[in-house]
Amino acid sequence: RPVLIPVLGDQLTHSLASLEGADKDNAVVLMMEVWDETTYVKHHKAKIALILSAMRHFAGELRDKGWTVEYIALEDEGNTGSFTGEIARAVDRHDASKVRIVEPGEWRVQKALQGLKGPLDVPLEILPDDRFLCSIPEFIGWAQGRRTLRMENFYREMRAKTGLLMDGDEPVEGKWNFDHDNRASPDDGIDPPPAPKFAPDDTTRDVIDMVARRFDSHFGSLDRFGWPVTAKQAEKALDAFITERLPDFGTYQDAMVTGEDDLYHSLLSTSINLGLLDPLECCRRAEKAWKDGKAPINAVEGFIRQIIGWREYIRGMYWLEMPELAEANALDASRPLPEFYWTGETDMLCMAEAVRSTRDNAHAHHIQRLMVLGNFALIAGVRPQDVEDWFLVVYADAYEWVELPNVAAMALWADKGRLATKPYAASGNYINKMSDYCGKCSYSVSKKTGEGACPFNPLYWDFMVRNRKLLESNNRVARVYATWDRMDDDRQREYLESAKGVLDGLEPARKGWARD
């Protein structure tokens, strides 16, 4: 009786723990396109196309390597529409002796699998996902007993564990973190080489056609689809990043430029999250570029920190804080998401640009996500669960394990600072410093209140005042209140009235964008 090995859509790795050591002659690999996964939120069309195309390519590669693969396509007759339904059906069909699966990335799926243990007549073995450097028990062990959790401390342990950028027990060049050199604004004139795009082959075109037909009501465009859908393509994307964009990655990490969607970012998150690229290998390649004198330390350290620091930390925090994190709302934010997050129809150029890139590419870079889209939702007091749904829908790299901590904890401070020391709230001044948007925007960033003032300016103060009780005791925020208290009453009133004007003018998103 064969062993059934289900491989989920973000487990497209040839060295996956469930495949390693399995006997090809006595195993059936099961891959499933299912309605539950494609519609539990109404994912961006390009995100669905990416995942299904990558799954189909991966199934073909496994067959070429001699595996028996059963591939259930979305439109196949009899498809039950869920992972659990398909696993149960396959156990029966093949009279499987057991099921061996790598732990899923998401809480929702983990619960569903655990619920299958009883009803299934055969043993269900759930293996740790060793594609992460830090296992879930290891992270929880690290977190237990610490009063405050800081990414930087965790990151140093990951540096020591991997030996990346280490000189014995010490960090190379004497410092753990070179972020100080990573804050250049784009004013200096930059000309980033475009990230490679991969023309859809027949398999991808079939999927794109099906997605256009079956997911017409979902957000986003399929027109510019060019994501890597195989490990080979992802490696080409990695090569191009290391040689062409990594050297400037650090310097312009926080910059935003009108019409420049990629800048010096790697655009590797979709491939890493799908399993097409090994995160550690990406880091080793970056380290080698530094060793070879081809990329400076600030860029290489910054890139490595994002992967072995932030990415691993975020994943650990997800499993540490779930399921409460999904409901967290420390600031009691209750406003519905504004409609312009879906349409891009707003006079705020920073917002319109971020939504445009999101719609066209199923991607926006980190500082757009954090300091434009996230920041606006934070200071306008948008309900975290609305914002979380939006981020989960719109990005091709979004799975709940990585989306939720980034949105709820990092961008919205809904976890009351377990992840981020202080809320990333900012006025228009920050966006102006880091972008070329404000000069072209119909709002005036230097105008603080009243007609034509940049909406981020009054909203920033309104947010601070609204949340004073919770934030005042945080000594990283205290001086903000000293500034507020020094303003005269009329000035304070102008800020709050302007903010009210902005908030009253926000049109709530119509129902049905994120979920049916």
According to DSSP, the residues that pair with 167 across neighbouring strands are: 170
Residue 10 is a binding residue for ligand DLZ (CB under 6 A): yes
Pick between residue 207 and residue 410 the one whose CB is nearest to ligand FAD: 410
Dig out the tokens for 224 from the structure: 């510019």
Q: Does 411 bind ligand FAD (CB under 6 A)?
A: yes
Stretch that binds ligand SF4, among 222-230, 247-255, 451-459, 493-501 (CB under 6 A): 451-459
Specify the pairing of strand 68-72 against strand 98-102.
unpaired
One of 454, 464, 471, 506 touching ligand SF4 (CB under 6 A):
454
Using rule CB under 6 A, residue 425 touches ligand FAD: no
Least spacing, CB of residue 304 vs ligand DLZ, in Å: 24
CB 333 within 8 A of CB 382: yes
Task: In angstroms, give the least distance from the CB of 510 to ligand DLZ.
Answer: 23
- Is residue 383 involved in binding ligand DLZ (CB under 6 A)? no
* CB 373 to ligand SF4: min, Å: 11
Residue with tokens 């794109």: 208
The answer to whether residue 282 forms part of the interface with ligand SF4 (CB under 6 A) is no
Q: Which of residues 94-123 bind ligand DLZ (CB under 6 A)?
A: 104-106, 109
- Write the binding mask 262 to 281 for ligand FAD: x where contact by CB under 6 A, - elsewhere: ---xxxxx--xx--------
Q: Contacting ligand SF4 (CB under 6 A), which of 456, 460, 463, 513? A: 456
Q: Which of 437, 460, 463, 495 binds ligand SF4 (CB under 6 A)?
A: 437
Binding partner of residue 33 among ligand SF4, ligand DLZ, ligand FAD, none, CB under 5 to 8 Å per kind? ligand DLZ
CB-CB contact of 72 with 37 (8 Å)? no
Burial, 180: exposed, middle or buried (Cβ in 10 Å; 0-12, 13-18, 19+)? exposed
We find the least distance from the C-beta atom of residue 391 to ligand FAD, in angstroms, to be 5
38 is a contact residue toward ligand DLZ (CB under 6 A): yes
391 scored as a contact of ligand FAD (CB under 6 A): yes
With residue 32 as reference, give the H or E element that holds it. strand 27-32
Element (H, E) at 108: helix 107-116
Q: What are phi and psi of 237, to 5 degrees?
A: -65, -40
Asked if residues 248 and 190 have their Cβ atoms less than 8 Å apart, the reply is: yes
CB of 105 to ligand DLZ, least distance (A): 3
Q: Under rule CB under 6 A, which residues in 334-353 are in contact with ligand SF4?
A: 348-350
Closest chain position to ligand DLZ (CB): 9
User: What sign results for the dihedral spanned by CA atoms 464, 373, 316, 103?
Assistant: positive
Closest CA to 122 of 145, 91, 101, 98: 98
Amino acid 395 reads Y
* Residue 10 near which of ligand FAD, ligand SF4, ligand DLZ, none (CB within 5-8 Å, type-dependent): ligand DLZ
Least distance from C-beta 443 to ligand SF4, angstroms?
A: 4
Q: How far is the CB of 344 from ligand DLZ (least distance, A)?
A: 23
Q: How far apart are CA 485 and CA 489, in angstroms?
A: 9
Residue with tokens 């005791």: 473
Measured from the CB atom, is 370 or 514 closer to ligand FAD? 370
Give buried/exposed letters for 86-116 (b at 16+ CB in 10 A, else e): bbbbbbeebebeebbbbbbbbbebbebbeeb
Task: Please say whether the beta carbons of 95 and 311 come within 8 A.
Answer: no
Nearest-5° Cα angle at 476, 474 to 477: 70
Peptide bond into 323 cis (omega under 30): yes
Single-letter amino acid code for the residue at 69: V
| 370 near ligand SF4 (CB under 6 A) | no
Neighbours of 34 (CB within 10 A): 20
Give CA 294 to chain center in angstroms.
Answer: 28
Question: Which of ligand FAD, ligand SF4, ligand DLZ, none does residue 289 bind to, with CB < 5 to 8 Å depending on kind?
Answer: none
Residues in the chain: 516
Among 441, 464, 471, 477, binds ligand SF4 (CB under 6 A): 441
* Piece of the chain touching ligand FAD by CB under 6 A; list 79-87, 309-317, 490-498, 499-507: 309-317
Among 370, 380, 419, 480, binds ligand FAD (CB under 6 A): 370
> Which stretches of 45-199 are assigned E, i.e. beta strand?
68-72, 98-102, 124-127, 166-167, 170-171
Q: Could you tell me the smallest distance in angstroms from the CB atom of residue 47 to ligand FAD?
A: 10
And the tokens for 357? 């890139």
# binding residues, ligand SF4 (CB under 6 A): 14
Q: Which is nearer to ligand SF4, 227 or 456 (CB)?
A: 456
Give the position of tokens 């475009």. 194
Q: Which residues bind ligand FAD (CB under 6 A)?
A: 265-269, 272-273, 303, 306-307, 310-311, 314, 365-366, 369-370, 374, 391, 395, 397-398, 402-403, 406-407, 410-411
Residues forming contacts to ligand SF4 in the complex (CB under 6 A) are 348-350, 428, 431-432, 437-438, 441, 443, 445, 454-456
What are the residues binding ligand DLZ (CB under 6 A)? 8-10, 32-34, 37-38, 43, 48, 51, 104-106, 109, 399
